[in-house]
Amino acid sequence: MTPKIFIDGKHGTTGLQIQSRLADRNDVELLYIDESDRKDISKRKELINDADLVFLCLPDEAAIESVSLIENNTTRVIDASTAHRVSADWVYGLPELSQNQHNIIQKAKRVSNPGCHSTGAILLLAPLVKSGLISADYPISITSVTGYTGGGRKMIEQYENSNREEQWELNAPRLYSTAAMHKHIPEIMRYTGLCTTPLLMPLVADYPQGVQIIVPLHLPYKREAILELLTEHYKSCINIDVLSSTPEFAASNVNADQDKVTLRVLGFDDKIILTAQFNNLGKGAAGAAVQNMNIMLGFNEYEGLILR
């Protein structure tokens, strides 16, 4: 039977992206809720329990509420919010995390979709910490430059407003989350194995899609070892390229139109700069969610993803 899929919160940025990726597929059946009913709990509950798999594209509290509406033992969930990313009874939806993660996701009933900043940081750092090339207490600093679509509908409207001449500050990258621990840090620590809280400096810039995670390291004589380790770890992942070539400029929107990730090992002398470039709405959100759905339902892992 064709699996039935319901997107709870399909009008948000991630929900719309997931819907567009699934709309033309004939191996799944999308369930729809009328616009007038999308805040009706009883209607949502009916669709959630009728679905084989539900995407939650909602704020944290609403995502928790949606999970509480499930009354059967068959509906599976992929949650794109931050509500369950470090919960012990949820599986983290990053199949490239380890050799076993793909199989764990495939069997899971509850999968938490990673955040965009954390995706890049974990892809870069988890293999290095696990191998011992970086100690778990290394003082990590992470800079993340992302397009404004990652901020959701309100931020998109702010940046794409035709009457924004007076909002001169939107013309330059803006540092945010300056006075509190960023919501992605707990998952970064959990899945990299870091025991010292990293410093995460996120910036939003005046372009729509694409994110670049930048991690500087001072590890003498280890650049080649890091390159070899990352290359080996991701050798079977057709959605991840590990490169040592040094571009004149490393743009944050380099993979904005697809679902692949480019990891680079850059730097000079004993200074190392690691970067991860990908689509914040692709591998950083909707693309990752569809990849997880494919794994959970037994499809080709990369079905429906844009990989060039």
Active site residues: 116
To 5 degrees, how large is the angle CA 156–CA 279–CA 287? Answer: 100
21 φ/ψ angles, rounded to the nearest 5 degrees = -80, -20
CA-CA distance, 73 to 37, in Å (whole number)?
25
CA-CA distance, 154 to 226, in Å (whole number)?
40
**Residue 303 burial (10 A CB sphere; 0-12, 13-18, 19+):** middle
Non-local CB neighbours of 174 within 8 Å, separated by 6+ positions = 203, 204, 205
DSSP structural state of residue 59 = -
CA-CA distance, 36 to 51, in Å (whole number)?
20
> How many residues comprise the chain?
308
Query: Beta strand 91-92 with 53-56: parallel, antiparallel or unpaired?
Result: unpaired
CA-CA distance, 8 to 80, in Å (whole number)?
10
Q: How far is CA 264 from the centre of its chain?
A: 18
Q: How far is CA 201 from the centre of its chain?
A: 17
